[in-house]
Structure 1
């Protein structure tokens, strides 16, 4: 494996920033987990096998946690947020199943991806099943605004996936183009997860603020992932260091390095990312170039900028346990090393 360089380490143990949030919504999360378990059931044996392979593989349930906390932040008194949180997790799981097929990924959360165990066709179809179950739960809540928010997010996420395909292996991709991709592919679900709770209350200002918080948090989350792909530690990443590089993905650290590099260095990026000559030796060179041009550090600085914007979005809410927990999530996202 190529060189692994350290990025900013978390100030705590990597998960403590989520402890307050998890404790705050513990009873709701238990209901969400029970609902997830029941809705993955099917007479078709392979469906729960494939779904639970990923759902039970150690994910932090960050997006449904955000849904539950945002509902509490907006003082929502009902139980519709339970189904919406489960729907958000199913949407996320479906996108992971589909992503791994598109990216030909071998690992997910530290173990073999579903496509490596059951094949591409099963992964895609079980992802479709989970999307169907997500929409059933949205309808059961009976909130047209909630249905609109999450169904729109599903459309935007798909658009982001196609945008990423168009940008793949193209080192001329600009920073603005890449931000458009991750705003759709990653941040849209974060934004929707945070928005649906206040939407159940019909609180327009709070809904807009929660959406802004989620969108900026989602961008920060993806930018940290971009940095960790070249500067993380494989045991904590849950995937191979350099997977983005091997797959020819143009991420923000690469965009910075290409923009700041010499003509010879740009030829290197063209040869490896556009033409596919991305072996372990080339990965070591890529990491050296990223270090030389401060690309990883700059990407993390951008992530912190978006985290600060997410923090400001919560200013409209009065102080509360939910608000403080959501502020802690920003720290978790920008300082994590997993």
Structure 2
């Protein structure tokens, strides 16, 4: 049964639940999936196993596989071994992208734990990231589904292109909002789309692929914009990194792009300071630069854009089966937006 309420929106929940509350909707499936993430590693090379286990143990919330499990249950409220397996594969791919990100960013820690490149070295981290991607596709073949392979192979190409595009615009103060959206569409949103669409293909619900693609893309966009806003306004301890790290790395994030645009018209001196910082990556006056971005009005603009993307993600859910699993997806969008408060 589907719901097609006015404006194709899903009614908001009474209060924003915790992540644990949402996860509890598919608790048994999630626990099995989590074990499969580790159980799917089968390399005969001990170093591959050690590094893989290290990066997977560093963990995270497993949001992408949770989305796969919610989508699978939304279409068929029965345990699905295939959906759990696909969710584990999705997390394996996500972990691989994080390993590669840490090498590119020369990160020493992620979520308060040493990264693979810091614990071993860059070469080892890159190659183990490659193994995780290869192993994920090795496991995908087992589904014997060409449409599923198509979604994941196309998506993985888009993820890689998004990362390269980010590198291309690194330290580029002329990067635009369109450039930024192309970057995050690949490096962030694409995996959310794969997580949703993969579940639909497994459950024979191809008629919902476009709605799920829309949800994944807009939710991913909102998620990344919020992350980038928090780089200038969040809690360093909660985030596991220092405020302004993205600026020091010269990443073309929306707060910086918009701040440069606004400062160019209102504060030429501030504009030059920020432009040079983006271009060189030298931020000895980091606190002053962060305050420049904050006072420019850029964060207000970014918050509004994140909320727009959130609303579009919520609207995309309106044509999907109306049940508690769809509500769980809606609550994830609310939980993400709540980080802006």
Q: TM-score, normalised by structure 1?
A: 0.91
For the residue of structure 2 that corresponds to 1:307, the secondary structure is helix
Give the structure 1 partner of residue 234 of structure 2: 232
Question: Contact 1:76–1:201 at 8 Å: present in 2 too?
Answer: no
Question: Contact 1:42–1:48 at 8 Å: present in 2 too?
Answer: yes
Q: 1:285 aligned to 2:270?
A: no
1: CA distance, partners of 2:65 / 2:188: 14
Note the C-alpha offset of 1:93.
Answer: 0.4
Note the C-alpha offset of 1:76.
Answer: 7.2
Give the structure 2 partner of residue 270 of structure 1: 275
Number of paired residues?
Answer: 324
Q: 1:107 aligned to 2:85?
A: no
Question: Contact 1:146–1:196 at 8 Å: present in 2 too?
Answer: yes
Note the C-alpha offset of 1:91.
Answer: 0.6
Superposition map of 1:164-183 within 5 A: 164-183=166-185
Give the structure 2 partner of residue 198 of structure 1: 200
Alpha-carbon spacing, 1:53–1:240, altered in 2? closer, same or farther (3 Å)? farther
Provide structure 2 residue ranges, at least 5 long, that are not aligned to the other structure: 1-13
Superposition map of 1:1-338 within 5 A: 16-75=17-76, 78-261=80-263, 262-279=267-284, 282-336=285-339
Q: Any idea what the Cα deviations from partners look like across 1:82-104, whole Å, max 9, x if unmatched?
A: 22111110110000000111111
The CA RMSD measured in Å over matched residues stands at: 2.0
Note the C-alpha offset of 1:226.
Answer: 0.4
Q: TM-score, normalised by structure 2?
A: 0.90
Q: Any idea what the Cα deviations from partners look like across 1:178-204, whole Å, max 9, x if unmatched?
A: 111101111000111111111223323
Question: Contact 1:107–1:240 at 8 Å: present in 2 too?
Answer: no
For the residue of structure 2 that corresponds to 1:56, the secondary structure is helix
Question: Contact 1:66–1:193 at 8 Å: present in 2 too?
Answer: yes
Question: Contact 1:63–1:89 at 8 Å: present in 2 too?
Answer: yes
Question: Contact 1:76–1:197 at 8 Å: present in 2 too?
Answer: no
Note the C-alpha offset of 1:254.
Answer: 0.6
Note the C-alpha offset of 1:318.
Answer: 3.4
For the residue of structure 1 that corresponds to 2:241, the secondary structure is coil
Note the C-alpha offset of 1:79.
Answer: 2.5
Alpha-carbon spacing, 1:249–1:13, altered in 2? closer, same or farther (3 Å)? farther
Larger CA deviation: 263-272 vs 221-230? 263-272
For the residue of structure 2 that corresponds to 1:54, the secondary structure is helix
Q: Any idea what the Cα deviations from partners look like across 1:203-228, whole Å, max 9, x if unmatched?
A: 23312111111111100110011011
Note the C-alpha offset of 1:49.
Answer: 2.2
Note the C-alpha offset of 1:13.
Answer: 12
Note the C-alpha offset of 1:337.
Answer: 6.9
